[in-house]
Amino acid sequence: MSKLIHTPSLANVEEHNEKSATFVIEPLHTGYGMTLGNSMRRVLLSSVSGASITAFKIEGVTHEFTAVKGVREDVVSIMLNLKSIRFKMYTEEPQTIRLTHKGKGEVTAGEFKVNADVEVVNPEHVIATVAESDAEFIIDVIVETGRGYRTVEEGANRKPSDMIAVDAIFSPVLRVRYKVEDTRVGQITDLDKLIITVDTDGSITPKDAFEEAAAILVNQYNALAGSTKIEAMPASKTVAPDFHADDSEDPAELMVSVEDLNLTARTTNALINNDIHTLKDLFSLGDAELRDLKGFGQKALDEVKDKLTELELYYA
* Run of H or E residues at 99: strand 95-102
pLDDT for residue 61: 87
CB atoms inside a 10 Å sphere around CB 134: 9
CATH code, domain with 189: 3.30.1360.10
242 within a domain of the structure (yes/no): no
Which domain does 288 fall in, by range?
252-310
**Counted domains in the chain:** 3
252 to each of 103, 139, 176, 204, 241, how far by Cα in Å? 79, 74, 48, 49, 11
8 Å CB contact between 67 and 205: no
pLDDT for residue 118: 95
Secondary structure of residue 126 in the 3-state scheme? strand
Averaged over successive runs of 10 residues, the pLDDT of the chain (316 residues) comes to: 71 92 92 93 95 93 85 93 94 94 94 94 95 92 94 78 89 95 80 94 95 94 84 53 46 72 85 85 77 81 78 55
**Do residues 39 and 133 both lie within one domain?**
no
Q: Which residue type, as a one-letter code, is found at position 115?
A: N
CATH code, domain with 302: 1.10.150.20
Q: Which residue type, as a one-letter code, is found at position 22?
A: T
Cis, bond preceding 123 (omega within 30 deg of 0): no
Print burial letters for 204-217: b (CB count within 10 Å at least 16), e (below 16): bbbeebbebbbebe
**Do residues 38 and 80 both lie within one domain?**
no
pLDDT for residue 293: 82
pLDDT for residue 252: 58
